[in-house]
Structure 1
Amino acid sequence: MKNVEKLMENIYLIDGFDLGMKERTGAYVLTEAELTLIETSASPSVPFIIDGLKELGYTLEDLKYIIVTHIHLDHAGGAGLLLQQCPNAKIIVHPKGFRHLSDPSRLIAGARAVYGEKFDSLFDPILPIPAERLIAMNDQDELTISADCTLTFYDTPGHANHHFSIYHPKVNGMFTGDTVGIRYATLIPEDIEFYLPSTSPNQFDPGKMLQSIELYKSLNLSYIFFGHYGVSNHPSEVYKQVSYWIGEFVQAARNGYAAGQTPEQQMQLTGEELLQKIYANLREQGVPENHDVFEVLRLDLEVCSMGLIDYLHKQK
């Protein structure tokens, strides 16, 4: 199965088939002098990443840096498993994520609370990473990966406090993880660009997310590289849509919070209202109700609703 796409010179995207879905979560390969990977997805995606690197003509010994934008398991869960097979690589992580990759016990407990009995099939195994193989990058720290390519790291909270974004100067692009949301790649064949914020538990903060978007705007980027999924060359459209939906998400959560008797009810009501709003928006754009995108949206909104209600409970 061919799972590698060339995006531009020296930048490739490997499909990790996260959750068994095509174009769900990707790993970016920067084929500079120091071979660099951005994101690993969860452990079940690691075989696809290894196959993708082989397809590009690389061995696991060639890999020098594995960067994770944040430590949520669909972005970094496979890092320990992959690193076992990459003797010359180091993992680069936000300072607030460092200890959780070294000792993932709290990460595992948190994910088990969210995903319950699905946890093992989605994420197992999650392996600890020796501290000497971890590098923390602070705001505006740099990493040179070739003579003409130095990446810059920016602290970009909103989705999570342990989140950075990576600026690539040669293409004037930013690898944004989940900070500026999700690109629904399954709608691209319909000529529809659709972006939503990702508000999963438990550090979602709408104010911080909007501040991070303002940072992206200030850099006048040409490209946004999403954790989910692929690249957009219309950053202004990304900012516009995600900023609009942040407001809609929070308002739906306030409604659900007020109407529900328990957190479970509040989450359910939030998710239902958001799904109705998104259905209506996509119907206006000509998307039929049986489109594959709605299967993905239902999954995303279930997790987003958890993060939204968690945020409101903390506010109260």
Structure 2
Amino acid sequence: MRIHTATDFLPVTVSSVLLLSAFAAAAAISATAAPSAKKPYVTTSLDIDSECKTCPRSLCPNVDLKVDNVTNEFNVTCWTRGTKIMGDNLWLKTESDCYLTQYDVHEYDGNWDEDLAYCGRQSEEQHLTLEDATLQYKTECRICPFTGSCDVVAYLPEETDVTLTCWTDAATPILDNSYWYKTTNNCYVAEVGLYDRPNRADLDYCGPIPHLEIANHNNENGTSEVNKREPSAEPAELAPQYLIEVKVGEEYSYCYEKPDNTSKVIERYEYNQTVVMQCVTDITGTWYAQSTDFCYCSNYDFWDEPLNSEYYRIPLCEYFGTPADR
């Protein structure tokens, strides 16, 4: 009887040996290199009041984010790149076909760009409607268009050129005009402060605007040369507002070229006449209010003194600077 040796079971040709070795190596490589499957979506919820945008850019219009009526949760399906927020340009697309930053949602125990698919290059495109405008009066540019609750991003002097991107009428009325416009400075200005009424037909509607706070929302768009000077901190015990209507409480109120009653008289307002004030100043030691005629009246000439009003808090003229400062 023949005793079989190990060599009796080897392949009969060298080519067979090489082929089997190649198959084994390929299987090993495939097992170690196979990428993990992407998730079709991740369920999350908002961490703060946020804007869900038509594109992953801070200047794009907003869209109504659909959330679960009970849990307030929603699904994000892919990631993309957009405006850099807090040093990171990663944005998330939702099933509402709008985009949020990763800082708008609850912290994720994973990596968005590893667990979700990339939305595609077309998702990074920015489509904006734009219209140039110039400020006629001193203007507060706010993070959202509500004077009583939204922070001021910048105090802009008269003659400032701005570029408008969209409009809304769901806002605080200023002199009975509720139209506001978002600018490329990523803040909103009231229509009443502009020289000319923009053609709203050429601009997008801004969409739903939540209450936003500077502390929670970065303004890193880098698309504007508009003066971004920081507003001075001041307690908001009353609703802040500019362009205030007041009535003259004296026989006459003289409006001076400078906040000083020894300077040239520019206008004379009569008893009970309505005057629109932009701001107040005490740079000469006495409080004066600047009207939309760009002259200064004594704060004490009016029934409802601009500085000491029971209804509003008017800003200081020093906040805005002058056109020469720009």
TM range (shorter): under 0.3
TM-score, with length taken from structure 2: 0.24
Structure (1 or 2) with the greater strand fraction: 2
